Amino acid sequence: MIRNPYVSIYARVFLASSVMLYFFFSIGFDNVLADEDMFRANLKRTAEYETDALKRLKGIRWKFKTHGKVRSSPVISESLLYFGSNDGFLYALDKNSGNEIWKFKTKGDIYSSPGVSSGVVYFGSNDGNLYALDAVNGDLKWSYKTGGEIQSSPAIAGGAVYFGSLDSYIYALDSASGKLIWKFKTQRGITSSPATTDEVLFIGSLDTNLYALDIKNGKELWRFKTEDIVVSTPAVSDGKVFFGVQDTHLYALNMKTGELIWDSKTDGGILDWVYSFPAASKNAVFIGGVDSMYSFNKKTGKREWQFKTVRAVSSPSIAGSILYLGGNDKKLYALDAVTGEELWRFETKGEIETSPTVNKAVVYFGSNDGYLYALE
């Protein structure tokens, strides 16, 4: 295992985390959410990155080869980038050079995207464990065994880690010790990743429901029944919860009550399943179908544009006014988020299922060709 020479960063992270805890208890839950580094950019899972966009593609800054498909989306914290691979490793790379800093072996494929908080990396594996590693050196702090594969990407908030498992439970663990705080049973497994805001946790289940739970005790606040499985990670924005369902629907619900606000559909009937997760900007919601990426008006659900591609399994991300997405055609696209016009594309040798991460005009994403790419 390679050690990171910048060990002093750990002390700074510890001090920063102490300050964050102080503000959590003094000014409220939502004020610290943006300080976490995790899947879909934030705890609300809007996938909107507050950073410079990559408007014109120059080429590859670096690429890193693993020994399996990369389906775990990368997350950046400080100078490091974290992601998992189907080779069973969780990797930490220098985000600027792509050099490996450390890697940690699990006993299963890793689909779960990591979350980083207070110097600790949290992620799930198909071996059924939720892991907590030291973010600087990759040392194991603790692991928690569930009864099923963990493909859900954890949310870390208020001293707890929240995630779902294919054993049908939603879990809340103490982030420092890994001890169980509460768990909530659904009727089928869970691959959806939780979104949180205003002390409420939103998550989908393969039992066809979208759940809203009290984040403190796991008690059900409401549920919304759909006509198909809910693999989608919800996005929370402007008092609404947005999520897609396999049967072509994109729903917008009232965050407080679970009441349906609008329901829009993609094209193609049963063949146009909604595979990707929604991204939410100020005015629009974006989601992919079997052959297109769509933009819907956030308030009304009216379709604003449609961009034809091959099955958009990759979930879109936003930086500035640019939308980034991958497809089964092995290409990563950059689109004008307002018009849907293509700005550039980049081709890999494998299908792209990860959600792109954007940081300082660099786009990071994984491909089923086994590489993690950094484009500039």
Task: Please tell me whether residue 11 adopts helix, strand or coil conformation.
Answer: helix
In a domain, 1, yes or no: no
CA 298 to each of CA 76, 232, 242, 301, 374: distance values in angstroms, whole numbers, following the listed order: 28, 17, 9, 6, 31
In a domain, 357, yes or no: yes
Angstrom distance (rounded) from CA 348 to CA 326? 10
Percentage of the chain beyond pLDDT 70 is 89
User: Residue 248: CB partners within 8 Å, gap ≥ 6?
Assistant: 265, 266, 267, 268, 269, 270, 272, 273, 274, 289
User: Residue 199: CB partners within 8 Å, gap ≥ 6?
Assistant: 29, 214, 215, 216
Q: For residue 279, what is the DSSP state?
A: E
Residue with tokens 């979104």: 195
User: Residue 12: CB partners within 8 Å, gap ≥ 6?
Assistant: none
Angstrom distance (rounded) from CA 87 to CA 128? 15
Give residue 272's pLDDT: 53
pLDDT at 307 over 90: yes
The parent domain of residue 344 ranges over 8-375
343 residue type, one letter: L
Rounded to two decimals, the pTM is 0.90
Give residue 265's pLDDT: 87
Residue 104: phi and psi, rounded to 5, are -130, 130
In a domain, 112, yes or no: yes
pLDDT 10s digits, 8-65: 333 343 334 443 433 333 334 433 333 359 999 999 999 999 999 999 999 999 999 9
Give the burial string for 355-369 (b: 16+ CB within 10 Å, else e).
bbbbbebbbbbbbbb
In a domain, 330, yes or no: yes
Domains: count for the chain: 1
pLDDT 10s digits, 188-228: 999 999 999 999 999 999 999 999 999 999 999 999 999 99
Give residue 48's pLDDT: 97
In a domain, 245, yes or no: yes
Single out the residue of 239, 237, 247 nearest to residue 286, CA to CA.
Answer: 237
Angstrom distance (rounded) from CA 344 to CA 219? 46
In a domain, 2, yes or no: no
Q: In this structure, what token pair is assigned to residue 274? A: 């909604």
**Cross-strand pairs, 92:** 82, 102
Q: How far is CA 199 from the centre of its chain?
A: 19
Contact 83, 70 (CB under 8 A): yes
In a domain, 3, yes or no: no
Calculate the average pLDDT of the chain: 90
Q: Are strands 279-280 and 284-288 parallel, antiparallel or unpaired?
A: antiparallel
Give residue 34's pLDDT: 36
Confidence tier at 179 by pLDDT (50, 70, 90): very high
Confidence tier at 237 by pLDDT (50, 70, 90): very high
Residue 117 CB burial class (10 angstroms; 0-12, 13-18, ≥19): buried
Angstrom distance (rounded) from CA 363 to CA 359? 7
User: Residue 8: CB partners within 8 Å, gap ≥ 6?
Assistant: none
pLDDT 10s digits, 114-144: 999 999 999 999 999 999 999 999 999 999 9
Q: Are strands 89-94 and 100-105 parallel, antiparallel or unpaired?
A: antiparallel
CATH number for the domain spanning 258: value is 2.130.10.10
In a domain, 118, yes or no: yes
